[in-house]
Structure 1
Amino acid sequence: MTPPTDGSDKPRIMLLGMGDLSARVLSMLLGDPATNRVVLAGRDTEAIRRRGNLALFTAANLGLHGTVDTVHIDLRDVGATAETLAEVRPDIIFMGGSLQSWRVITALPEAVFKDLDEAQFGPWLPMHLTLNHLLMRAVRDSGVDTRVVNAAFPDAVGPILGKVGLAPAIGVGNVANIVPALTLGAAHLLDTHPSRVELRLTAQHYFSHYVPRFGDAGRGAYHLAATVRGRPGTAELDHGALFAQLGGRLKRLGGIDGQLLTASSAVRVLRGMATDSGVLAHAPAPDGLPGGYPVRVSRDGGTLDLPEGLDRDEAIRLNEECQRADGIDHIDDDGTVHFTEPEMAVMKRLLGYECRRMRLDDAGAWADELGRKYAAFAAKHR
């Protein structure tokens, strides 16, 4: 890798896993002088170099000039990854890699997808945990003082790795993705401009996945508080009327198009860390906590900024309860995950896959089995 030659002391941000989400994040980072010193990392260096050049040229059309370097990283080789990290010394790592994207099952025929979606997201955990575990081991071994921002099921990956001292600093997406629509919906109900409304939402992935699709909270435990600038106290909101708007007048595009929203939530966090700003944001798994929270973002990640009347223990309890609706019953102190029976029963019925208990070190083997069984299932429904 050729180091930047502009003498910049701006944070160096490494993007790992150059799929659609990371590509969108890259374009946004290059649009801000505070975040435009980027390193792309992956196995196919030629492909990611071309991706980087496309983003550079696009930014140049707008009069924006950052730097994008490229390095080879294969997360399966922990030792080599650690050596590369020690050489590059990124200040922040954005982890966008996963063994199977969440959106893969959305390509199934609609009726088949709806049936499989009843399993929720928890049973797919090994696909998102495996590479994060390898990355965090490499970060530890590298000795580099870097902060990892995780986009792959951070609500569960963070607390699992936190049990063994390997949690990423913070996650992105999920709880953050629903806040803009809730803010607009609350402004509508409170007859004010959205810029005057400040929400604080505590909720796990299940909630942010369910509400936009069905217009209610389903089985998701959560806490939501809203204030309006210039008005005293917490605003009174009809949550049923608020959530119904997300299934109606505020319904948005999902799937790959919806990743634009996730990218913007990621860049809010990355910019906050790069500038040590203390900006209010919503993010999953700050410091390895389960689920999602309102946070103040600074160099080291996110610090909880809970609303009046909600303490840390209750916020965690709500997220753990919501996590059970997502198919994860609980996490042991050694990182072993226990899955819920009803959700895993869907996976067994449709895919012939059943994992009721998963040790952290076995996540890769479970991911391999799940990948094979899903591929066979998908082939039958083409």
Structure 2
Amino acid sequence: MSRREAESKPLIMLVGMGDLSARVLNMLLTNTATHRVVLAGRDVEEIRKRANLARFTAANLGFFGDVDSVSLDLQDIGASAETLARTKPDIIFMGASLQSWRVLTTLPRATFEELDEAQFGPWLPMHLTLNYQLMQAVRASGIETKVVNAAFPDAVGPVLDKVGLAPTIGVGNVANIMPALTHGYAHLLDVHPSEVELRLVTQHYFSHYVPRFGDAGRGAYHLSARAGGRPVDPPVDHAEVFAQLGGRLKRLGGVDGQLLTASSAVRVLTGLATDSGVLAHAPAPGGLPGGYPVRVGAAGGTVDLDGSLTLPEAIRINEECQRADGIEGIDADGTVTFTEREMAIMKRLIGYECRTMKLGDTAEWAKELGHKYRAFARRHA
């Protein structure tokens, strides 16, 4: 491929070079449609080394991508806007948060399981804060770009949508459970997994709960299935499918599980880069709450429901499941109300309580939550 041909490909910026973004980078560089990448973070020397490792790994496989690195501190919105205006990425992958979800999984098992009862909603400030800063920088930069968010997109998207700053689409969560559900259906129907096409509407709670416990818990959802191009008739018992995820289809989680999230991200990023219209599952397309089946093209993700569900019904299901995840509701100005039950667990265990959070206060709440959690983790080390 000539340099001119390479430069005609979309430029994908990866923001935040943690484990997830590193895995995404490796996958992007083995596809000529997505191998024009720039890494953005505070430690330019470290991310340059990361870029070179990925570049050389891809070269071993016969792929020669274009990888650059730039300095970006999301907390400096003005400087970030200048960097974005200068770099002009076509697509931004947001992999940064103030505290990764997997930090909790490093706690002793019994401690983690007790804290996990608070669900994920109360941790929203850790994922919303940097996304809010990034989207303000995108607006100030004046560039046209698509933003793909990996940090609790189910809730971050609809909060930022209230102020016109929603990322284009999210990744992970609803997408992460789809391969196992597909294999579960295929096993029960005695068909090849490639013959199974599922459409699932649900929020993060469901995709976190089912693989761990083999049932849906308190999670609202809507799941429809086709096999060989036809609706599955008679319907398969969902309980039989879900039970497999806690048994024969149980997978590694934690850091190892990031590989699955990375693959869901690359499916979406490739759809955006190639305008393919690929069927995927993704959270928060266009700022909607929770996750949906979508067709991914250059403009983003378009919700692709079958005739068994309308979009308003899908939104209602996701908002109901969101309450099981600890978020009672999101007001028109982006103010978030957290559920009493889940926040009571946070207060009892780590001494943190936030029942209502205004968007402009998210950084302060994140600071307090981080301080309280670190003290808690030290006590249980």
TM-score normalised over the length of structure 2: 0.98
Counterpart residue number, 1:222 = 221
Q: Distance in 2 between matches of 1:231 and 1:358?
A: 46
> What is the identity, as a one-letter code, of the residue corresponding to 1:198?
E
Counterpart residue number, 1:144 = 143
Q: Distance in 2 between matches of 1:197 and 1:315?
A: 21
Counterpart residue number, 1:58 = 57
Q: Map of 1:351-370 to 2, 5 A cutoff?
A: 351-370=350-369
Q: Does residue 347 of the first structure (1) align with residue 372 of the second (2)?
A: no
> What is the identity, as a one-letter code, of the residue corresponding to 1:38?
V
TM-aligned CA deviation for residue 231 of structure 1: 3.7
> Secondary structure of the equivalent of 1:220?
coil
Q: Map of 1:1-382 to 2, 5 A cutoff?
A: 8-231=7-230, 236-382=235-381
> What is the identity, as a one-letter code, of the residue corresponding to 2:214?
G
Q: Distance in 1 between matches of 2:61 and 2:30?
A: 9
The 8 Å contact of residues 225 and 235 in structure 1, kept in 2 or not, is answered as no
> What is the identity, as a one-letter code, of the residue corresponding to 1:309?
S
The 8 Å contact of residues 283 and 292 in structure 2, kept in 1 or not, is answered as yes
The 1:187–1:86 alpha-carbon spacing in structure 2 relative to 1, beyond 3 Å, is same
Across the aligned residues of Structure 1 and Structure 2, the Cα RMSD in angstroms comes to: 1.0
> Secondary structure of the equivalent of 2:98?
coil
Identical columns (%)? 74
Unmatched tracts of structure 1, length 5 or more: none
Q: Distance in 2 between matches of 1:242 and 1:88?
A: 46
- Any idea what the Cα deviations from partners look like across 1:93-125, whole Å, max 9, x if unmatched? 000000000010111111111100000000000
> Secondary structure of the equivalent of 2:7?
coil
> What is the identity, as a one-letter code, of the residue corresponding to 1:24?
R
Q: Distance in 1 between matches of 2:280 and 2:302?
A: 10
> Secondary structure of the equivalent of 2:222?
strand
- Any idea what the Cα deviations from partners look like across 1:274-302, whole Å, max 9, x if unmatched? 00000000000000000000000001210
TM-aligned CA deviation for residue 237 of structure 1: 1.1
- Any idea what the Cα deviations from partners look like across 1:151-190, whole Å, max 9, x if unmatched? 0000000000000000000000000000000000001111
The 8 Å contact of residues 95 and 151 in structure 1, kept in 2 or not, is answered as yes
The 1:8–1:113 alpha-carbon spacing in structure 2 relative to 1, beyond 3 Å, is same
Q: Distance in 1 between matches of 2:348 and 2:110?
A: 15
TM-score normalised over the length of structure 1: 0.98
Q: Stretches of 4+ moved more than 2 A in 1?
A: 4-7, 230-235
Unmatched tracts of structure 2, length 5 or more: none
Q: Distance in 1 between matches of 2:4 and 2:42?
A: 25
Q: Distance in 2 between matches of 1:209 and 1:376?
A: 26
